[in-house]
Amino acid sequence: MDEPWSFDYNNMDSADVEKMYIKAAFKLAEEALDNGEVPVGCVMVFEGSIIAESRNTVNETKNAVRHAEMNCVDQVFEWCKKHERDSSLVFKNLHVFVNVEPCIMCASALRVLDIPQVVYGCNNERFGGCGSVMNIHNDEVPGFGRSLQVTSGVNADDAVKLLKLFYKGQNPNAPHPILKAQKLTELNQTS
Amino acid sequence: MSEKKRKHVSPDHKNYVNKTVRSTKDEDISKTNVDLHISPWYLTPVLADKYYQHTESENVYVAEVLDQKMTAQLVKTLSSQYPLTGLSHVKRVRARANGKKNAGLEIIICRAIDVNINHLDSSSTSIQTEKIMKTDVSHLNALSEFCKLFVVPKYPPLTRKQYEQSSQLWPVQFHEDKYIARVMNNQVFTTSELNFIEQNMSLALKLAMVSKCHVGAVVVDPATKTVVARAHDFRNKHTLQHAVMVAIDLVAQGQNGGAWNRYGLQIGPNLQEAESLNDSCIKRENHTTSQSLDECCGKDCRLTKTSPYLCTGYDLYVTREPCTMCAMALVHSRIRRVFYGVSTPWGALGSRYKIHVWEGLNHHFEVWKGVLEKQCQL
């Protein structure tokens, strides 16, 4: 299968294109932070163009599963409906860029949809499903499609900085702000 | 109904019921067993693997105590010289096990890995005590000349069964977790609680029946015994709209949030159909409109003085074992407990993984399986 950037972007190599899309995801992550969300953004690319772009909306929707990737998947379904494309074929040729490693749930969703690959920035030590906490990306699970190709560490420092900014602030919807404050002091002590 | 149910009672189930009847005297629980007997299903806890594991062992060197008056001093010396790191559950001294009373004492000198074996014959299972113990003569004289290699349990026992296995190797400390013991003996739920569980699952079953994908799920607030969300699968239309994901979004919608309502994706119509099937299956207020849900949440606020946060405090009933995506969605949503009917090979709450007790995740929850198991095999 041809990589979309190998022919769509004449003078850029694939690493540059990866960085470009990760930067697009990063912009969405910044928007998430501005709205008091965990700063994660995601873009999904099909045939060389972005067909879905979203960010974390957990607090806004009061639904803890509304991660950037999940929102993007819904947009892809909408896009497919609008452009009368077979969604399963679109997902099979989709490229996913996200500034933080997909969590166990999102990695599972990518596997369920048979998405071939994901490029991300920094690791997700708390929930990561592509090696940090679990190996959903390449574990053998009945019903899952191909294993997910993972490229990590693209502009990771930017993503880490953004996450640190978020954890310095407080999640306004969390039930125990005192606990958060304690965690923060621990974090500061260790860092 | 009960006649029908009896037909489904498996031989396993009968054994199980008999066993628990014998093992308990509590009135309430014996009632539970009676109820279980006429019921075609039995509840099985899905606990972390550590509760089912066989005893693993570790090697230690053990010497005989010749002068028992010195025992306390020996223990003191040894615990500073050779602390049993990671083996704090293992008792340092034991009575010799040769069938006789007052057959003397044995004491653990050290873990085998603490000894630098290089200058010793590593194939030997007994070594001279003075070669590994640096202490004065009075201490050495109180011990046998040679110490032997023994195996002791590597990890502290978590269940009575593990305790019994461990004790056969060497005496160990055992602090029984009373709740886990009740869970393993199925002494957690009363008759009325089991009935409530069955009611909720039969509602999930009805939802599953109207779904083309045959999976149904309900979210219940056990504090108020009300149904917070009822959902079924839409994966034929949207690959990720598994019943659990739909249920989680419906809970959010009840808290003035939600996402799938905004995208205009239909997750409602068939639920009305299930509603008509619902009859008097369960007593509750009608929460189909967001208004009445608000009222329900308002009630909760007064009760707990905090507004509802995600699925905190709620129980989920789903006809079959959730996949990894749904299981992790339940971790993110801080669910309290999950009850499911039938296992799936890809299931992440017991079969392929045990995400609900995965080490390193920030939220763990209880999982029970087997509710209306036969009927859930849709």
Contact B40, B16 (CB under 8 A): no
pLDDT for residue B359 is more than 60: yes
The answer to whether A143 contacts B249, with C-beta atoms less than 8 Å apart, is: no
Q: How many CB atoms lie within 10 A of CB B166?
A: 24
pLDDT tens track for B310-320: 999 999 999 99
pLDDT given at position B100: 67
pLDDT given at position A134: 97
Give yes or no: A30 in active site.
no
Question: Tell me, what amino acid is at B333?
Answer: S
pLDDT for residue B98 is more than 80: no
pLDDT given at position B1: 38
Structure tokens at A127: 């929930």
pLDDT for residue A7 is more than 80: no
Read off the pLDDT band of B291 (50, 70, 90).
very low
Contact A69, A130 (CB under 8 A): no
pLDDT for residue B41 is more than 60: yes
pLDDT given at position B373: 93
- CA of B323, closest CA in chain A: separation in Å? 8
Determine the length of chain B. 378
| Catalytic-role residue among A37, A53, A69, A101 | A69
pLDDT given at position B89: 95
The answer to whether A143 contacts B346, with C-beta atoms less than 8 Å apart, is: yes
Give the containing element (helix H, strand E) for B128.
strand B126-128
The answer to whether B259 contacts A71, with C-beta atoms less than 8 Å apart, is: yes
User: B244-266 burial, b for 16+ CB within 10 Å, e for fewer?
Assistant: bbbbbbbbbbbbebbbbbeeebe
Kindly provide the ipTM of the predicted complex, given to two decimals: 0.85
Residue of B323, B333, B361 to mutate when probing chain A, most A C-beta within 10 A? B323
pLDDT for residue B297 is more than 70: no
**Stretch B31-59: mean pLDDT:** 76
The answer to whether A104 contacts B324, with C-beta atoms less than 8 Å apart, is: yes
pLDDT tens track for B145-172: 888 999 999 999 999 999 999 999 999 9
- CA of A65, closest CA in chain B: separation in Å? 6
Contact B89, B153 (CB under 8 A): yes
Q: Which residue, B358, B23, B357, B35, is CA-closest to B193?
A: B35
Q: Give the angle subtended at the CA of B145 by the CAs of B139 and B146, to the nearest 5°.
A: 120
Query: Which residues face B316 on adjacent strands?
Result: B219, B338
d(CA A2, CA A18): 15
More confident residue, A46 or B101: A46
Distances from the Cα of B87 to the Cαs of B110, B118, B151, B156, B172, in angstroms?
11, 24, 12, 8, 9
Instruction: Say if B293 is an interface residue toward chain A (CB within 8 Å).
Output: no
**Stretch B230-253: mean pLDDT:** 92
Would you give the end-to-end CA distance of chain B in angstroms? 19
pLDDT given at position B281: 32
DSSP, residue by residue, B4-72: HHHHT--HHHHHHHHHHHHH---HHHHHHHHHHHHSS---EE---GGGTPPPPEEEEEEEEES-GGGHH
d(CA B128, CA A59): 67
d(CA B342, CA A122): 38
Read off the pLDDT band of B294 (50, 70, 90).
very low
Helix (H, G, I), strand (E, B) or coil at A89: helix
d(CA B324, CA B25): 40
Q: Across the beta sheet with A95-100, what order do the strands follow?
A: A49-55, A41-46, A95-100, A117-122, A149-151
Compare all CA atoms of chain A with the CA of B248 and give the residue at the minimum distance: A63
Residue of B236, B305, B332, B355 to mutate when probing chain A, most A C-beta within 10 A? B332
pLDDT given at position A77: 94
